[in-house]
Every structure is written in structure tokens, then in C-alpha cells.
Structure 1
Amino acid sequence: MFGMLSMGSSCSFVYINSVLLFTLRSKQVFCETSRYILLYNLLFADTAHMATSVLLYLLASLRINLTYLACGVLVLLSILTATISPLTLAVMSLERYVAVCYPLRHATVFNMRSTGIAIAVVWSFSLINIVIRGFMLLYVLTDFSLMQMGVFCSKDSFFTAPIFKDFEEVYASTLFLSIGVVIIGSYIGVALVARSVSTDKASARKALQTLLLHMIQLILILTSTFISTIFITLARTLGRLTLMRIYNACFVCLNILPRCLSALIYGLRDQTIRAALMQNLCCQCRCSVIFRKRH
């Protein structure tokens, strides 16, 4: 029952993100505005990460063991997309800071070219993480072939050597600390400017709310990064059934929910996106109803 609820909610979030991705390519204004381009990159990474996580969860629930090669591809894809999201949040926070604090320079600083460069840097930095893990994997494993895994596929079961856990702690701590500084600095800068008489109060207040939600996203993603350490501690005192129920709840709240907050933050709060998103969602519902009636 808990597994079905987890899968149902996860698939619903994947569907909403997919419709929003389609929405962000349905109008020219979304393709030419820096904040919407960054949002598309964030949603693309979040949707890919959710889809990979749901697939790994389903394989584990069905007790299907993959080969090391197949598991490695899925795990590395999950790590890649998981790294892109917080980095994109940092760039989006800087974009909101420039939009409120330096509105006259915003069009110059965040044009389509600079936004494309920022996205390329985000993906490059994430790929460096994957390359480092790949070299570490070749160094640690002596027989990496098409052998079947003895346990279900996950990041913890694939990267079992202590060197990976040390690298994960150092990398995640450095990454999230740096991004946290960027988001908090942007929040403080916008808050100081919001006190100015000449500032658009409504725009500044909305930017502050967005930055606060970005910080909540970052905290949830950071918690999901260290979830394995938390479960190892809980496994010493809790039974298997209780542990599995907690895992299902954490899977949705810490792994899936932070990835769909972007759709809620921008899909419901941005009037331009909200109108197009509701239109596409209603259109999809009408099409499904018509299809069922015909068949």
C-alpha cells in the first residue's frame, strides 16, 4: 500500500513537470526570457531525476537485480541530474537578485547568450563530478563487467567503497554550502533593497518569497543526499517494516517533493505560466476523456 501511494504520487509529479516542460516550449516569450530558460533547465533535470528515481524504486520493489553496467548508467544519470538542480537554483537566485537590485542592467547581464553560458557551466560542473566518480570506480573495481548484482540497484549498493562515502560528504558539503551562501546573499541583498522607497515593493516581496522557497528546496535536497547515513542509524533500533514505511515517506518527501516544488513555485505563482499551464492541463484531460469515450 505504501509502495503504491509512493509510486502514484511520484508519477503524478513527473506528469505535472512534463506538462510544464511542454508549456515552457509552447510560447516564444518562454524561449526568450532568461528566467524561463533557467526554469526549463531546472525542470528538465528535476524530471529526469524523478523518472530515474521512480525507475530504481520500481526495480527494487519488484526485486529485479540489474547488471553492474546497467545499474551504473542509471545511478550516474541520477547523480548528474541531482547535481544540476541545486546549481541551477543558485543561478536563478542570482537572476532574481539582479532583477530587483539592478533592474536597468538585468537585460544586459542575463540575456540569452549569458544564460546559455551559465547553463553550460552548470552541466560541465556536474559532468566533472561524474568523471571523477568514473575514475574512482575504475581505480577501486578490478572486475567491472556484465556481472549480475547481488542486491537491488542504488547509489549506496553501487558505490560501496569507503572512498566514495568520503568523497560524497566532502563534495556535497562544499557544494551545498557554496549554493547556500549564494541564495542567502541574494536574499539579504533583495531584502535591503526592498526597504528603498524607489523599489517596486510587490516585485521585491515576490522575489524574497521565491528565494526563501529556493532555500527550502536546497535544504530538502541536502537532506536527501545524506539520507543513507540517517537510515543506517535508524536500522540499528527500528524493525524492517517500520524502516520501509519511513523509507517510502522519505522517498516522496525528500527525493520527489523538492523536484516538483519548482512547478509549484513558478507554475502557480507566475501568472504567465499559470494561464498556459492550466490550459495545457485541461486540454490533456479533455483529450483523455474523449479517447476513453471512443474506445
Structure 2
Amino acid sequence: MQNLTDFPGNSTTNKSLSVIIKVCVVIPVFCIFLYCIAVMLHIFASHRQYLDSTRYILFASMLINDTLQLLSSVLLFLFVMAQVKFSAAFCVPMLFFSTATFQNTPLILATMSLERYVAIFYPLQRPAAWRSDRIWVIILSLWLISCIFPIVNYSIVARDPAAVDILSTSVLCKSTVFKISPVQALFELGVYILFFAVVAVVILFTYVRILLETRKMRQDKVSVNKAMHTVMLHGFQLLLCILAFTHPITESLLVLHANWLPQDVDFFNYFCFILTPRFLSPLIYGFRDQNLRGSIRKTILCCTDKVNPGERGKLQDNLCAS
């Protein structure tokens, strides 16, 4: 008697069920993330004290960047799950945006570590670029740097004769579609390694310097210890981002030992090494911060809409001390 799984109709049913499960896993987690980020951004917008602190401005920029990255990433995920094909003229801008925001995350982490370094070692002589009213120059520079690689990458694709058919036909919007040569893949890997190596060196340097400063200082050790823990957290966030590059290893292990289907392996890598780190990193940072944690609790519980004058002064003192 023939096995029921051999029938094409049953195979199609299993495939549809797999797609539904994947979508039902990603969408609720994504909605929870959006809600938490919306709460944090609402707090930043409604409390001027946060916007007067360089550290919180950089954190808000990281929240916005990761939100944009996840929006584009989840949208591309849904298109692939639904097998929607469209022209490269619409696909390339989405992939460009997703890649640029992906690369911008480690740059922001490095900048936040440097901000803590400047705040500790130059509290009274802070360079003008690190003041809260000038930090937008650094943020804009990070965006420009993160856009350089996608511009170069897709310029290579546009000039390659082998890419003519891809650019003129409807395709599934996946980055692998536009990786048409080994040189291009090697260039991409080199850029990623350079990005994360530079960021790792910056975080390690700032952490070691702050650690040494902690041992020398007899006063204000609390602020220095907070800064050191913040830099450690940035290192952990960078580690989560680097997990995105372990997908070739996990793919090989799952194919060899677990006998998974290619689309299931892709989803495992996408959820564990692309989505999860960006779900966790801003939430860990936000809920760890004492000032933000109190404001988040009040906003979520709807206990109060505004901070009274006494609490406002206390919040201002805490922000200046941090």
C-alpha cells in the first residue's frame, strides 16, 4: 500500500502548514517587539530630559534603526513565504535598506561605547560633536558609512552581464538571487568581517580603559562602574549580531545531522540569528536602565501620563549623573 505522504496533495498541505506555522511564530514576536519599541520612543518624545542626554539619543537612534531593519526583514520574509515575485526594481531598494540598517547596528554600538568613554575621561571638556545638540552629525555619518557597501555591491550586480536576466525578470526577493559571482560573496564577507572587527576593537578598548580607570578612581566609582557595565552590554549585543554569520555552520550541521529541508534551515537561521538578536538587544538595554525602566512601567500600567515636578527634577539629576 502506497504511503500517504507520497501524494502531491498531501505534500502541498504539509508545505502550506509549515508556512502558516512560520508566519504565526514570527508575527506575534514582531508585534510584541514593536509595542515595546513604541513605548520607549513615546517616552523619549514625551520627556525632554532624555533628548538632552547624548546616551539616550544614541539609544533612540538604535531603536529606530533596528525597527526599520526588522520591518524590512519581516516584509521580505512574508514575500518569500507567500512566493510573491516582482521586478528587481522594487526588490533591490528593499534589500538595500535591509542591508544598510543591518550594518548600521554595530556602528551604533561602537559609538555608544565611545560616548561612555568620552563621558568618563572628558566630563568637562567634551568635544562638540559629542554634545546632545551635535550628535546628529555622528548619527548621519554612521548612516552614510553603512550605505557604502550596499551601493558598491548592487553597482557590481548592475554592471555584470550575467545579471541582465535577473534585473529584467520577476524574482523572489532574496539576497542570494543577486549574489552572482564568488568575488561578490567574498567582498561581502570581507566587509562584514571588517565592520565587526573594528567595532569589537572599539568596544574592547573602551572597556579596558574604563576598567583601568575604575581601579584608579577613589570617587564616583558608581558612575564608572555603570559605564563599564554598559560597555559590557554593548559587547554582548555585538556578539548577538555576529551570530548572523554562523548560518553556514548551522546550515551544514542541520543538513548533515537533522536532515531538514532547505527552507526549514533558512527559517531557523533567520529566526535565531537575524530576528532574535534584534528582538533582544534593545529590550535588554532599555529594561536594564533604571530611568527607562521606571518610565516604561508607568507608561505600560498607565498610572500617570506626566511626571510631576519633584520626579522631573529627580529624573534630570539621574540623567546628568549617568
Give the TM interval when normalised to the shorter protein: 0.7 to 0.9
Question: Is the aligned partner of 1:51 residue 2:71?
Answer: yes
What secondary structure sits across from 1:195 in the alignment? helix
Contact residue 233 and residue 285 of structure 2 kept, 8 A: no
Normalised by the length of structure 2, the TM-score is 0.78
Aligned counterpart, 1:64: 84
Note if 1:103 corresponds to 2:123: yes
Task: Using the TM superposition, give the Cα deviation of residue 190 of structure 1 relative to its aligned residue in structure 2, in angstroms.
Answer: 0.7
**Alignment match of 2:260 (pick from 223, 240, 246):** 240
Structure 1 unmatched runs, 5+: 285-295
Residue 175 of structure 1 deviates from its aligned partner by 1.0
Q: What's the offset of the Cα at 1:232?
A: 5.4
Q: Deviations over 1:181-212 (max 9, x none)?
A: 00000000111111124342222222222211
| 1:73-99 per-position Cα deviation (integer Å, ceiling 9, x unaligned) | 211110010111110111100011122
1:8-27 to structure 2, matched below 5 A, reads 8-27=28-47
The verdict on how the C-alpha distance between 1:225 and 1:139 changes in structure 2, with shifts beyond 3 A counting, is: farther
Give 1:217-236 correspondences, 5 Å limit.
217-228=237-248, 230-231=250-251, 234-236=254-256
For 2:234 and 2:276, the matched residues in 1 are separated by 13
Equivalence for 2:186: 166
Q: CA deviation at 1:106?
A: 3.8
Deviation track 1:130-162 (CA, whole Å, cap 9, x = no partner) reads 22123112122234545211xx32222333332
Equivalent pair of 2:129/2:137 in contact (CA under 8 Å)? no
Q: CA deviation at 1:72?
A: 1.2
Runs of 5+ consecutive residues of structure 2 not aligned to the other structure: 1-20, 304-322
> Cα RMSD over matched residues?
2.5
Higher relative contact order (CA 8 A, sep 6+): 1
Give the Cα–Cα distance (whole angstroms) in 2 for the partners of residues 167 and 50 of structure 1.
24
8 Å contact from structure 1 (residues 45, 84) kept in 2: yes
SS at match of 2:164: coil
Q: 1:178 offset after TM fit, Å? A: 0.6
| Mapping 1:1-295, distance limit 5 Å | 1-106=21-126, 110-140=130-160, 141-143=163-165, 145=167, 147-149=169-171, 152-228=172-248, 230-231=250-251, 234-241=254-261, 247-283=266-302
Please identify, of 90-99 and 27-36, the stretch whose mean Cα deviation from structure 2 is larger.
Answer: 27-36
Q: Residue 206 and residue 261 in structure 1: after superposition, are their counterparts in 2 closer, same or farther (change >3 A)?
A: farther
Pair 1:12–1:66, CA change in 2 (3 A): farther
CA distance change for structure 1 residues 199 and 157 in 2, over 3 Å: closer, same or farther?
farther
The alpha carbon displacement at 1:177 in A equals 0.5
> If the length of structure 1 is used for normalisation, what is the TM-score?
0.85
Instruction: Give the structure with higher Rg (CA).
Output: 2
**% identity of equivalent residues:** 28
Q: Is the 8 A contact 1:94 1:186 kept in 2?
A: yes
Give the count of matched residue pairs. Answer: 281
1:221 aligned partner, one-letter code: C
SS in 2 for 1:98: helix
CA 1:237/1:271 → structure 2, altered by over 3 Å: closer, same or farther? closer
- CA distance in 2 between partners of 1:229 and 1:160 (Å): 22
